Amino acid sequence: MSKFGTRALNGMGSIRKRKDGTYEGRYTGSDGRQHSVYAKTPKACGEALRTATHSVDAGTWLEPSTLSVKQWLNTWLSDYQGHTTPRTVQVYRGLVDRYITPVIGVVRLTALSPIHVRKVISEMQKNGRAVSTIRNAHGVISAACNAAIEAKLINTNPAEGMKLPQRTKTKLHIIDREQIPAFVAAAREDVNGNALIFLLYTGLRAAELRGLQWNDVDLDAASMHIHQQIPCHGAPAFAPPKDNSVRTIELTPQAVALLKQQRKAQAAARLAAGEKWETGDLVDDLVFRSARGHFLSESVLAKAAHAIGAKIGVPELHPHDLRHSYAVAALRSGADIKTVQSNLGHKNAAMTLDVYAAYTTDAGKVAAEKLSKYFDDALN
């Protein structure tokens, strides 16, 4: 018999060598039944056995589950996301299917360790995935593990306390005051230029602009209600805005004038397209549409922004930079931070300040000038 044939191990249980060369440790669980742990070496088997029996003694033992990580993630996605928007679940599903289960899907949930989680992160880094994507994938694993703890399938979260790659601040391409005339002039020459000018005037997210309907706009009251978007990924469909940031935005005269011009341009485009003009519940009432009535795709807006940016010396201009440009312009003009935060749909003012503080060093001077005028008017 092998040195590691069936024998007691400090009264905790027993280990034996199996025919396939691996080692099995047997112990009695809190349920009064025999259970096993497996390892490639007697030392590793002994350590696993000690951990198992210690959990029995400590009252933290859980019956070993045969669930794989993939099976549990599927359960978590289907049964634990009642509070989450369909769009967010779709994002989670993409992270799970693309980055997580191909690497650790076959691992038993009860055997999941920090080494496995680190493997997912390493593979994503090796393949050049963005830091935000890596951190989101880690967040999915961690949330699913917390749910598994709640379900008493595991005792600890192997994703907790893990060092993650740090985000680097994205370089913003701000359209400064001096560049606005050139930008607007160049945009007016582009078939989709009105949409980009409107982003600059309002600070909408591109997905919110894509989902904006005429029914959401009140030109007489100079306001618009933001309650939906058409996300840039997945099948085109209306969805709640990011972070459910439903809000009403007061429009500047420039924005109102642009919308009136856009209504005329859309009517002309529809007439020119004739029978080729697209119809349907998704597109019929959209404010911004393509030359044939299609909803504006992310790639179309990005291409237009690059082309217009190249004409004014900002070749890396992206539609989201126009949202940033709106925020900087609003703060530099003296608008209060809470109003800017609300218009942008940020969760709090701290987030707004954190993103744009470096670009608004002259905002204090503008505010002081406005206060000075206020006192002058009051005194005179």
Q: What residues does each domain of the chain span?
A: 7-58, 69-150, 177-373
CA dihedral 234, 237, 238, 243 (to 10 degrees): -10
Q: Is pLDDT at 213 greater than 50 in this prediction?
A: yes
Per-residue model confidence (pLDDT) at position 2 = 42
Work out the average pLDDT over 334-362: 81
- Collapsed DSSP state (helix, strand, coil) of residue 226: strand
Residues 6+ positions from 111 with CB-CB distance below 8 Å? none
Distance CA 35, CA 84 (A): 38
Q: pLDDT tens digit string along 221-257?
A: 999 999 999 987 767 889 889 888 999 999 999 999 9
Per-residue model confidence (pLDDT) at position 47 = 83
- Collapsed DSSP state (helix, strand, coil) of residue 336: coil
Give, as one character, the DSSP assignment of residue 212: -
pLDDT band at 365 (very low <50, low <70, confident <90, very high): low
- What angle is formed at CA 311 by the lines to CA 308 and CA 314, rounded to 5 degrees? 80
CA dihedral 221, 226, 231, 232 (to 10 degrees): 50
Higher pLDDT, 372 or 328: 328
Give, as one character, the DSSP assignment of residue 321: H
Share of the chain above pLDDT 70, in %: 93
Q: Is pLDDT at 370 greater than 80 in this prediction?
A: no
Higher pLDDT, 171 or 316: 316
Would the pTM count as exceeding 0.75? Answer: no
- Beta strand segments in 292-333, E: none
The number of helix segments (H) and strand segments (E) in the chain equals 15, 7
Distance CA 195, CA 271 (A): 20
Residue of 270, 291, 294 whose CA lies nearest to 282: 294
Q: Is pLDDT at 94 greater than 60 in this prediction?
A: yes
* 302 within 8 A of 153, measured Cβ to Cβ: no
Quickly list DSSP for 7-69: EESTTS-EEEE-TTS-EEEEEE-TTSSEEEEEESSHHHHHHHHHHHHHHHHHT---PPP--BH
Work out the average pLDDT over 100-109: 94
- Averaged pLDDT of the chain: 87
Per-residue model confidence (pLDDT) at position 12 = 56
Say which CATH topology domain 177-373 has. hpI Integrase; Chain A (1.10.443)
- Name the least confident of 64-73, 210-219, 362-371: 362-371
Q: Are strands 217-218 and 223-226 parallel, antiparallel or unpaired?
A: antiparallel
Per-residue model confidence (pLDDT) at position 4 = 44
Q: Is pLDDT at 153 greater than 80 in this prediction?
A: yes
Per-residue model confidence (pLDDT) at position 364 = 63
Per-residue model confidence (pLDDT) at position 274 = 94
Per-residue model confidence (pLDDT) at position 352 = 81
